[in-house]
Amino acid sequence: MSKPTENREKKRREIERVAAHLFAKKGFQATSVRVLAKDLGMTQASIYYYFDNKEELLFKLMNNAMVDALASINDTWLSDVSAEEKLRRILGYYTRYYAGEQDQEILLLTEMNSLTPEHRAVLVEKQRHYLKIFYDILQKLKGQGKIKGDIHHSVATFAFLGMVHYTVRWYDPNGPVSLDQLSEMFVEIFTRGILST
């Protein structure tokens, strides 16, 4: 990568980091490009060198978070381990990723309606893909007799997602519980609640 390209990429990542924090803290609609530029020590015009508009920036932040999460989840889904191990790995990864990337998590939870219908559709499709993987793992475990009673895969899925997504309200990544510890606890709480073994 050439030096100018490397510098441009570094600046783009810095814009994304600061924008994610401001959008999460103040809200997308309440954060102007002027405020973003001021926090970055840039001009408003220079922001548009990297992004066509503020909505495109929001979409990139949200899409990048989902692409990163899906890549790891897909790798686990395609791996040659048991369905139970796949479930544990995905639960652990999902917890570490979203509890650790709280600005992006807040955006995914609160700013979907700020996107254009086209951009929103892209993210909804990614959500469907993730949910299908999760459902398929739970269905496989159910078929193996490893799910307790009549626990429905949708209820189990959304219970876990709610547990993780709510961490943005209370979890401090710099607090006494590390991301790895939180992840281990969530995996244990969830799997002990649904698995019969």
Instruction: Take residue 168 and report the two structure tokens written for it.
Output: 């943005």
pLDDT at residue 67 greater than cutoff 80: yes
pLDDT at residue 3 greater than cutoff 80: no
How much is the average pLDDT of 75-89? 95
How is the chain split into domains, by residue range?
Answer: 1-51, 54-194
Q: What is the pLDDT of residue 1?
A: 65
Class of 1-51 per CATH?
Answer: mainly alpha
Q: What is the pLDDT of residue 5?
A: 78
Q: What is the pLDDT of residue 195?
A: 93
What is the value of pTM for the model shown? 0.89
Instruction: Take residue 48 and report the two structure tokens written for it.
Output: 């548009």
Q: What is the pLDDT of residue 87?
A: 95
CA-CA distances (angstroms) from residue 158 to 50, 115, 132, 153, 163? 36, 23, 12, 9, 8
Q: What is the pLDDT of residue 44?
A: 93
Q: Are 44 and 33 in contact (CB under 8 A)?
A: yes
107-165 pLDDT tens trace: 999 999 999 999 999 999 999 999 999 999 999 999 999 999 889 888 999 999 999 98
8-64 pLDDT tens trace: 889 999 999 999 999 999 999 999 999 999 999 999 999 999 999 999 999 999 999
Q: Are 51 and 15 in contact (CB under 8 A)?
A: yes
d(CA 57, CA 40): 15
Determine the CATH number of domain 54-194: 1.10.357.10
Q: What is the pLDDT of residue 186?
A: 95
> Which residues have a Cβ under 8 Å from the Cβ of 110 and sit 6 or more positions away?
27
